[in-house]
Amino acid sequence: MRTKHRKEATTTEQDELNLTPLQKECVWNFLSGEFKRLNILEGSVRSGKTYISIVLWCLFVGKYQHGTFLMCGKTLSTLKRNVLEPMVKIFGDNSIKLYTSKKEARIFGRKVYLEGAGDIRSENKIRGMTLDGAYCDELSLFGEEFFSMLLSRLSNKGAMLFATTNPDCPAHWLKRKYLDNPKLSLLDLHFSLDDNIFLDCDYIENLKREYTGVFYDRFVKGMWVAAEGRIYPDFEKSKHVIRKNAKLPELALATVGVDFGGNKSASVFTLTGFTKGFSSVYVLEEHYDKENKSAENLIAAFRQKLSFWKQKYPMLRKVYCDSAEQLLVKSFRSGAPPGVEVCNALKKPINTRINMTKRLLGSERLFVSSSCPHLVNAFENALWDSSKSFDLRLDDGTSDIDSLDAFEYSVERFDKELFRF
Ligand SMILES: Nc1ncnc2c1ncn2[C@@H]1O[C@H](COP(=O)(O)OP(=O)(O)OP(=O)(O)O)[C@@H](O)[C@H]1O
Ligand SMILES: [Mg+2]
C-alpha cells in the first residue's frame, strides 16, 4: 500500500502541492479551527513535520493584513537551512523573500522577523515585541527561558505558535511543562517516519539501520525516552576494530582532532581517515597523554606526531582543536607541517556528535584500528549519566571522555558528506 503511495507521489506534477495523509489531516485541522494557541509538531526525523509546518505557517501569516511575526531557529543559519530555504522551494522566490542579513523575510508580502534562539541579544530583542505569531524550528534545542519569554510575547488576540521538534528525554522541559500539561491550550501533532510517503523505501530502511538504542526509539519511533546504560552498546570489537596494519581502502582525506587535557583529563590527538565519497571512516592513530607535564611538552609532541603522520598519511590536511585553549592552538598552528591547516573544532552539541557516531557504527561505516586502545576502551565504556534530567554522558573519570572528544572533533564537520539526505 505504502509503495503505491510513493509511486503516485513521485509521478505527480512538480508544481502541485502534494501531501501525505497525515499532512492533509493537519491542514484540515487548521482550516476547521482546531489549532490551538500552541501547536507542536513532534516525532521522528524526516517525517514531514517541517514541510507541513511551513505550509500552515504561510497560510497563517497570509491571513493577516497587518501583524507581527517571528521565526526562530537554534541559530539563524539552521533556521535558514531547515526552514527558509525549503519555504522558498515550496512557494517560490516571488512569494517568499529572504533578507537574512537584515534578519527579515517577507512571506506573501508580510514582514517576518528572524532570530536565533541561542543568541543572548535575540532574547533581549524579543523582550519588547508583541506578536501575532511565532514559528520555532527544533524547539527542544531552545533554552526554556527563551521559549517562555517568547510565549509571553504572543499576546495579541488569536496569536499562535507553530513549532517542530524531535523527541528528547521525558524529563525535558518541553515534554514535562508543555506537552504533558493538560491545562494548556496546546495541540500535539505526532509524526512518525513511515508517515512520509515521499521518502524512498531504501532511504527509510537505511535510516532504521543507522539509528540504534535510544536514538532509534527517539528518531525513528518518535518516542520521548531516557538515555540509560551504555552509549554505544552497538560497538563490538569483532565488527568495529581492525588490526593495526590491516590493508585499508584508499583514503581521500585524513584529519586530526585534538582535545586538550586539564588537571584530571588527558590530552589526546586522534587521526581519522575518510575513504572516497565519505563512504567509510577509519580511526587510525591516537596520541594519549594523561601526564600533561607542560605546554612545551605538548607542543613538542604535536610537532613530532604531526610530522610523522603527515608522512604516513599524505592526505592529512586538517587539524581541529578544542577551541578553549587559544594559546595552544596558536602554537600548534605554527608547529604544523606544511600542507596541514590547524583550525578550531566546531564543538557541536555532544548529543549531535554522539548521534553521528552511532549512525556510523549502526551502518557499519566506522572502524577503529587496534593501535587506538584508548578510543576502543572509550567506546566500550561510555555511559549515559542517568542522574540528570537531560542527556549527558557520564564524566566522573570512569570513562574516557577525552578520547571521544578528540575523535568527534575530527569527524563532526563532515555530517553533510557522511549523511547525504
Ligand atoms: N508533502 C511533501 N511533498 C514533497 N516532499 C515532502 C513532503 N513532505 C515532506 N517532504 C520531504 O521529505 C523530507 C523530510 O521532510 P521534513 O523536512 O518536513 O521532515 P521533518 O519531520 O521536519 O524532519 P527532521 O525531524 O529531520 O527535521 C524533506 O526532504 C521534504 O522535502
Ligand atoms: Mg524538520
Q: Where are the domains of the chain?
A: 2-201, 237-418
Q: What is the dihedral of CA 382, 385, 391, 397, to 10 degrees?
A: -50
Cα of 163 vs centre of ligand 2, distance in Å, is 10
Position in ligand 1 atom list of the atom nearest CA 191: 21
Indicate which residue's Cα is closest to atom 1 of ligand 1: 19
Is the separation of the CB atoms in 199 and 255 below 8 Å? no
Indicate which residue's Cα is closest to atom 16 of ligand 1: 48
Q: Ligand 1, from 40, 85, 196: best to mutate by most atoms within 8 Å of Cβ?
A: 196
pLDDT at position 123, please? Answer: 77
Is the four-CA dihedral 313, 319, 322, 324 of positive or negative sign? positive
- Strands annotated E in 354-404: 366-369
Position in ligand 1 atom list of the atom nearest CA 138: 27
409: which DSSP letter?
H
Q: Ligand 1, from 26, 47, 51: best to mutate by most atoms within 8 Å of Cβ?
A: 51
Note the ligand closest to the C-alpha atom of 86.
1
Cα of 49 vs centre of ligand 2, distance in Å, is 6
Question: Mean pLDDT for each consecutive 10-residue tract of the chain (421 residues)?
Answer: 41 67 96 97 97 97 94 95 97 96 96 89 83 97 92 95 95 94 96 92 90 89 89 92 92 97 90 96 96 92 97 98 94 96 94 92 94 95 80 80 97 92 53
Nearest to 327 by CA among 298, 347, 305, 356: 298
Note the ligand closest to the C-alpha atom of 22.
1
pLDDT at position 421, please? Answer: 53
Nearest to 320 by CA among 252, 407, 416: 407
Cα of 190 vs centre of ligand 1, distance in Å, is 14
Cα of 418 vs centre of ligand 1, distance in Å, is 19
The CATH topology of domain 2-201 is: Rossmann fold (3.40.50)
Cα of 95 vs centre of ligand 2, distance in Å, is 21
Indicate which residue's Cα is closest to atom 26 of ligand 1: 45
pLDDT at position 87, please? Answer: 97
Please give the full DSSP string across 24-59, using - where no structure is assigned: HHHHHHHHTT---SEEEEEESTTSSHHHHHHHHHHH
Is the separation of the CB atoms in 359 and 353 below 8 Å? no
Q: How far is CA 49 from CA 105, 139, 194, 339, in A?
A: 21, 12, 12, 44
Pairing of strands 281-289, 267-275: antiparallel
* Residues having CB within 6 Å of any atom of ligand 1: 18-20, 23, 45-51, 164, 166, 191, 196, 198-199
Q: What is the dihedral of CA 365, 368, 374, 376, to 10 degrees?
A: 60
Backbone angles phi, psi at 268, to 5 degrees: -135, 135
Q: How far is CA 241 from CA 19, 208, 369, 377, in A?
A: 44, 23, 6, 11
Widest Cα–Cα separation across the chain: 69
Pairwise CA distance, residues 268 & 286, whole Å? 7
pLDDT at position 73, please? Answer: 96
Is the four-CA dihedral 255, 415, 421, 237 of positive or negative sign? positive
pLDDT at position 341, please? Answer: 98
* 237-418: CATH architecture: 2-Layer Sandwich (3.30)
Note the ligand closest to the C-alpha atom of 51.
1
Name residue 320's beta-bridge partners: 257, 343
Q: Ligand 1, from 56, 80, 138, 198: best to mutate by most atoms within 8 Å of Cβ?
A: 198
Indicate which residue's Cα is closest to atom 31 of ligand 1: 51
Cα of 46 vs centre of ligand 1, distance in Å, is 5
292: which DSSP letter?
-
Note the ligand closest to the C-alpha atom of 53.
1
